[in-house]
Structure 1
Amino acid sequence: WLILPALNPAICWELCHLKNFNDTQSAGNLLDLNLLRIFRDYTPELICCNILPFSQVNNLKYKDLSNFKFSSYLTGLIEGDGSIITPKTERSVKGRINYPSIQFVFHLKDYPLASMIQKEIKVGSLTRKKGANAYVLTINSYKGLILLISMINGNMRTPKIYSLYNLIDWLNFKFKEINIPKKPLNNSSLDSNAWLSGFIEAEGLFSVRTTITSKYSKVECKFELSQRQHDHKGNNNLDFLEFIAKFLLSSVKAIRVNKPNPEYRVRTTSLNSNLILENYLNTFPLFGSKYLDFEDWFKVLDKFKSGKFKHKSKFEEIILIKSSMNNARTFFTWDHLSKFYNLD
């Protein structure tokens, strides 16, 4: 079982009706891939269960919580790599009751972030996804679903809002006294809240490119977001990606056009674009392993801004930084989780 950093005793491991227990570790401790492999192989299939029995539906209330920074961040995370699932039928072909759910998917290395989010919302089950290096945080209690809707309703910016509307209709039909409103897409400036931070957490990529030739050395700092051109329901993703591209002084490019699922890509192409992103993420920070990639990316960007990368020693330092970013990272610290948003 993983002993997590920076997650204090409020984390509750509830396995059905078994007795609760808590484990903690100081924020300064380090997490490497060897430890990750250990809890990948030996953590139980059900990491945490905090599901309200579906018979307990008294006192279900909708309260607008969309103005929290945590709420906009969580919305971006769901719209980036999450699912809002509403059953089409009350029962499956085998007679089992179908329940709605909201799900978040996290890479194996982002287990501490997944646990932190679960700790703050105080609902849901965190499980290892079979056949993949991923964990899934699933919320399917009525209490949990209404809580999540109260946070993301009014913060959504993508076609996934139609999945939210389906879930709201389902809940309003089942519990007519709740009367959850269906808020429109959020068209406020991206730098007004943490939505883009959450979306980057799920889908962003920070990269450094170095070129060495006999005549000169070149460094490029780039950030990119890629999405399918159409989601699984056929909705086009172009509009919200153009909104992001405009914010980053960039444009949307069609890629993989000859593949079964063509994509759109937004990529920073100038120093000014990178500076906008830097300023935004300093205001609305990342909290997963992408925070570490951003920190390394920023170190290189800082050298690029000052022109120091032109010196041989600095160029070698940049290559070293680049060698441990993204999938090449094997060493993790989680001190930054101590500053995570608090819903309370």
Structure 2
Amino acid sequence: MPALNLANCWKEIYLFIISLSAGCLFNYKLLRIFRDYAPKFVCLNYHLDIYRKFFSVKRNLLFNNNTTTEEFDTRFSSYLAGLIEGDGTIIVPKRERSPKGDLYYPSIQILFDSRDFPLALILQSKLNHGSISKRKGSNAYVLTINKLEGILLIANVINGYMRTPKICALHRLIDWLNSRFGRKLLNIEKKNKDISNIDSNSWLAGFIDGDGHFSVRTTLGSRACAPKIECKFELTQRQNDHNNENNLEYLSLIAEFLSSTVKEIRMNKPKPEYRVRTTNVNSNFILVKYLEKYPLYSSKYLNYKDWIKVLSYFEAKNHTKPESIKAIVEIKSQMNNERTEFNWDHLNNFYNLYK
């Protein structure tokens, strides 16, 4: 995709199919964005004639004894699991019907910063499911999967790749699906947490795209004080999630992988947090080695690439030289919330659902 200047531009960034039949959209459009005025609602649906015949057509979404005709790409599966655990929600109804008698259905939602709208689109297209809507009152989009075919697909894709307490929500969803359609038809196994090494798959990359942060700090100081330059990566999570499940276990594994520690912060607040932060150049390069193998796909990829440029000055041990500081300050001025141009070429290499 071409570079996208969110400050002032019209850009065709994606081609998608929508339809308008019994509430479903049916048309062929080019999506354009002008500044922040992106579409309020996007619905992607390929091969509607197939999806209307759920359990009647042998397609990739149908599971017989918990197997598929095609094998999922483990990179896609682990990345999606990490992304959902970083900034997603699995909603499973506790009751079958509402007081008015309406049936309750589960839902899977993934939150994206407004800058990451192209990632939401590409993920939607790979899954062939979901709708994207602008979240009211915030600079964010939500990819929501409500259709049972899509929920069944995602449950099988991420099953076995979860590492956080959100696995409990996935297991509740699997119980709901097995109960809804009968174990003779589905019988989805509730797989345990992934206990493989953090660097064995792309889970951490997905989790970072959801909740990670790359930062450069420059304290120029006075004549009496030497300038201070810091290049760090950090993850911050609530100590206990909304189900009162503690997040220390998996954060400790991430910290161990990065040769770092988990620190308690905001202890005087109602919702204290844990923080994992790289503490030195060696710790940073452990992360670099991993992300070169399992890349990021959100706009954080661009921040990561700038972060690496700054890290190279540390590696050469010349980051305190005046000319280096000037270059670092310039790089920092275009990172994170200061970024105005976005190049999405890296999405061309996004994983496919199947091998």
The alignment's TM-score, normalised by the length of structure 1, stands at 0.90
Separation (CA, whole Å) in 2 of partners of 1:99 and 1:36: 35
Residue 256 (structure 1) shift: 0.6
- The answer for the alignment partner of 1:198 in structure 2 is 206
Residue 92 (structure 1) shift: 2.1
- The answer for the alignment partner of 1:257 in structure 2 is 267
Contact 1:36–1:109 (CA under 8 A) maintained in structure 2: no
Name the Cα RMSD after superposition: 2.2
1:94-114 Cα shifts (integer Å, max 9, x gaps) = 433211011100011100000
Change in CA separation of 1:182 and 1:240 when aligned onto 2, cut-off 3 Å: same
Secondary structure in 2 aligned to 1:14? strand
Answer with 193-202 or 142-151: which moved more: 142-151
Residue 67 (structure 1) shift: 4.9
Contact 2:115–2:299 (CA under 8 A) maintained in structure 1: yes
1:178-206 Cα shifts (integer Å, max 9, x gaps) = 10000000010111100000000000010
Counterpart of 2:95 (choices 77, 89, 99) is: 89
Counterpart of 2:55 (choices 45, 55, 58) is: 58
Counterpart of 2:18 (choices 9, 13, 19) is: 13
Q: Which amino acid aligns with 1:289?
A: S
Counterpart of 1:189 (choices 197, 206, 210) is: 197
Structure 2 residue 41 is the aligned partner of structure 1 residue 36:
no
Structure 2 residue 314 is the aligned partner of structure 1 residue 304:
yes
Residue 2 (structure 1) shift: 7.6
Structure 2 residue 240 is the aligned partner of structure 1 residue 230:
yes
Contact 2:72–2:353 (CA under 8 A) maintained in structure 1: no
- The answer for the alignment partner of 1:209 in structure 2 is 217
Where do residues 108-147 of structure 1 align in structure 2 (5 Å cutoff)?
A: 108-147=114-153
Secondary structure in 2 aligned to 1:230? coil
Structure 2 residue 12 is the aligned partner of structure 1 residue 48:
no
Counting matched residue pairs gives 329
Secondary structure in 1 aligned to 2:28? coil
Structure 2 residue 185 is the aligned partner of structure 1 residue 175:
no
Residue 211 (structure 1) shift: 1.8
* Structure 1 or 2: more strand by fraction: 2
Separation (CA, whole Å) in 2 of partners of 1:288 and 1:336: 9
- The answer for the alignment partner of 2:284 in structure 1 is 274
Secondary structure in 1 aligned to 2:19? coil
Answer with 310-319 or 51-60: which moved more: 51-60
Counterpart of 1:152 (choices 158, 164, 177) is: 158
1:238-274 Cα shifts (integer Å, max 9, x gaps) = 0000000000000000111111111000000011110
Q: Percent sequence identity over matched residues?
A: 50
Change in CA separation of 1:85 and 1:298 when aligned onto 2, cut-off 3 Å: same
Secondary structure in 2 aligned to 1:23? strand
Contact 1:66–1:150 (CA under 8 A) maintained in structure 2: no
Change in CA separation of 1:181 and 1:276 when aligned onto 2, cut-off 3 Å: same
Separation (CA, whole Å) in 2 of partners of 1:248 and 1:267: 8
Residue 136 (structure 1) shift: 0.6
Separation (CA, whole Å) in 2 of partners of 1:326 and 1:198: 18
Contact 1:127–1:137 (CA under 8 A) maintained in structure 2: yes
Separation (CA, whole Å) in 2 of partners of 1:87 and 1:57: 21
Residue 13 (structure 1) shift: 2.7
Secondary structure in 2 aligned to 1:127? strand
Counterpart of 2:330 (choices 295, 320, 337) is: 320
Separation (CA, whole Å) in 1 of partners of 2:156 and 2:86: 18
Contact 2:73–2:352 (CA under 8 A) maintained in structure 1: no
Separation (CA, whole Å) in 1 of partners of 2:163 and 2:283: 21
Change in CA separation of 1:161 and 1:217 when aligned onto 2, cut-off 3 Å: same
The alignment's TM-score, normalised by the length of structure 2, stands at 0.87
Answer with 51-60 or 284-293: which moved more: 51-60
- The answer for the alignment partner of 1:284 in structure 2 is 294
Contact 1:241–1:252 (CA under 8 A) maintained in structure 2: yes
Contact 1:47–1:128 (CA under 8 A) maintained in structure 2: no
Q: Which amino acid aligns with 2:30?
A: D
Separation (CA, whole Å) in 2 of partners of 1:172 and 1:191: 32
1:64-120 Cα shifts (integer Å, max 9, x gaps) = 656520110010000001000100112223433211011100011100000000010
Contact 1:219–1:304 (CA under 8 A) maintained in structure 2: no
Separation (CA, whole Å) in 1 of partners of 2:332 and 2:191: 42
Contact 1:85–1:100 (CA under 8 A) maintained in structure 2: yes
Change in CA separation of 1:131 and 1:182 when aligned onto 2, cut-off 3 Å: same
Answer with 137-146 or 221-230: which moved more: 137-146
Residue 57 (structure 1) shift: 3.8
Change in CA separation of 1:63 and 1:104 when aligned onto 2, cut-off 3 Å: farther
Separation (CA, whole Å) in 1 of partners of 2:307 and 2:201: 22
Counterpart of 1:240 (choices 233, 250, 270) is: 250
